[in-house]
Amino acid sequence: MPVSCQRLPTGWFTHDRVDVPNPLAEAPERPERLDTIENHLIALGLDERVKRFECGSAPIGAVLLAHDGAYIERLRLASEGDAHALAAFCEPDTKVGPDTFDAAMKSAGAVTSAVDALMEGRIRNAFCAVRPPGHHAARAEARGFCYINNVAVGALWAVHHHGLRRVAIVDFDVHHCDGTEEIIAGNPAVRLLNVYQWPLYPNRQLTPTPENVVMSPLPAGADGADLEEVLETVWLPALEVWQPELIMVSAGFDAHCEEQLAQLKMKETDYARLTRRLLDAADVLCSGRLVSVLEGGYSVHSLARSAMTHVNMLVMRGQHPAGE
């Protein structure tokens, strides 16, 4: 590992639209999620230990690596109130409002900015504090509170813009990342490793499983020991074989035991252990290059505690920005 990596900070990538209301008033994917995370960041003093980036929209060329152009145009028109375009967004929990396109483009922009900063050697690793989330968004369909697949856009941007040949995406959100799976299926430059509760929303996965995807479903009631077994027996060996040049993380914290939407039993210490092991793998395999992207987590207090546990691990691998 280059010595200079040791002195770089963790980047905190966000944008000015993370507080837009969900078009569905009663949706658990709501502004309080990010508000609570930001409050915990300050309470723990971590805001002074990360380097903050306020990001604009992703380059349209990056978004089109993961999505159909007609779909993105439909999303833009629906956000402007076009009735015909609005009618195309059918999932009951994934409605489009006037701020949706802007917020979704900026969430993806936070991730491409994080990839850029990492590849240009300006940060050690990154956490993207974004909403809306992305991992259910398919190439031409919004679903599960997701419109643009942030992590897929970032991974494909790393491949096409930065010339990486091997990128790994690991996803520990409690829900299967059906959108990410669809977008990267068969892509020789990307490997997807995902652990999730099964059966549970979205109850949809490709058959047969694509060669570049490793699925690790867990039954309701599974806990941190089960997660660790997946990590040690499936993920870490797969990463060692794949030799990624960058590890992207779809960091959903809705497998926490306090979540009402699912039945896994993870605790903060489990997220800490998982994060530490992924950082260890990144150190060995790819000079510590790791970009983590917020996905789900709807019990706001356990979400914020878990996210801070995760971010604290990232920060401990970097250094105070003032020390640059």
Neighbour tally for 120: CB within 10 Å: 9
Q: Which window, 39-47, 95-103, 167-175, 202-210, contacts Zn ion (CB under 5 A)?
A: 167-175
Question: Is 93 one of the binding residues for Zn ion (CB under 5 A)?
Answer: no
What is the enclosing helix (H) or strand (E) of 268? helix 268-286
- Which x/- pattern over 241-260 shows residues binding Zn ion (rule: CB under 5 A)? -----------x-x------
User: Please, what is the minimum distance in Å from the beta carbon of residue 177 to Zn ion?
Assistant: 9
Angle 80-83-84 (CA atoms, 0-180°, nearest 5)?
110
Q: Which window, 3-11, 148-156, 182-190, 295-303, contacts Zn ion (CB under 5 A)?
A: 295-303
- 175 belongs to the catalytic site: no
- Tell which one of 173, 178, 259, 270 touches Zn ion (CB under 5 A): 173
By C-beta, is 29 or 116 nearer to Zn ion?
29
Query: Which residue in 67, 136, 176, 256 is the catalytic one?
Result: 136
By C-beta, is 59 or 252 nearer to Zn ion?
252
By C-beta, is 263 or 287 nearer to Zn ion?
263
User: Please, what is the minimum distance in Å from the beta carbon of residue 296 to Zn ion?
Assistant: 3
Nearest position to Zn ion, beta carbon: 296
Q: Which window, 91-99, 100-108, 205-213, 288-296, contacts Zn ion (CB under 5 A)?
A: 288-296
Q: Which residue has the tokens 């074989």?
A: 241
Angle 190-195-199 (CA atoms, 0-180°, nearest 5)?
125
User: Please, what is the minimum distance in Å from the beta carbon of residue 47 to Zn ion?
Assistant: 26
Q: Which residues contact 262 (CB under 8 A, 6 or more apart)?
A: 174, 175, 197, 200, 220, 254, 255
Give CA 75 to chain center in angstroms. Answer: 21
User: Please, what is the minimum distance in Å from the beta carbon of residue 202 to Zn ion?
Assistant: 10
Please check whether residue 247 is in contact with residue 282, taking contact to mean a CB–CB distance below 8 angstroms: yes
Please check whether residue 153 is in contact with residue 58, taking contact to mean a CB–CB distance below 8 angstroms: yes
By C-beta, is 51 or 175 nearer to Zn ion?
175
As beta bridge partners, residue 265 has 223
What is the enclosing helix (H) or strand (E) of 51? strand 50-54
Size of the site for Zn ion (CB under 5 A): 5
User: Please, what is the minimum distance in Å from the beta carbon of residue 80 to Zn ion?
Assistant: 29
Question: Is 175 one of the binding residues for Zn ion (CB under 5 A)?
Answer: yes
Nearest of 185, 155, 178 to residue 65 by alpha carbon: 155
By C-beta, is 250 or 309 nearer to Zn ion?
250
Question: Is 318 one of the binding residues for Zn ion (CB under 5 A)?
Answer: no
Maximum Cα–Cα distance across the chain: 55
Please check whether residue 182 is in contact with residue 142, taking contact to mean a CB–CB distance below 8 angstroms: no
By C-beta, is 50 or 129 nearer to Zn ion?
129
The one-letter amino acid at 178: D
- Tell which one of 128, 296, 303, 314 touches Zn ion (CB under 5 A): 296
User: Please, what is the minimum distance in Å from the beta carbon of residue 99 to Zn ion?
Assistant: 22
Distance separating alpha carbons of residues 230 and 216, to the nearest angstrom: 7
- Rg of the chain on CA atoms, in Å: 18
User: Which residues are marked as active site?
Assistant: 136
Interface residues with Zn ion (CB under 5 A) are 173, 175, 252, 254, 296
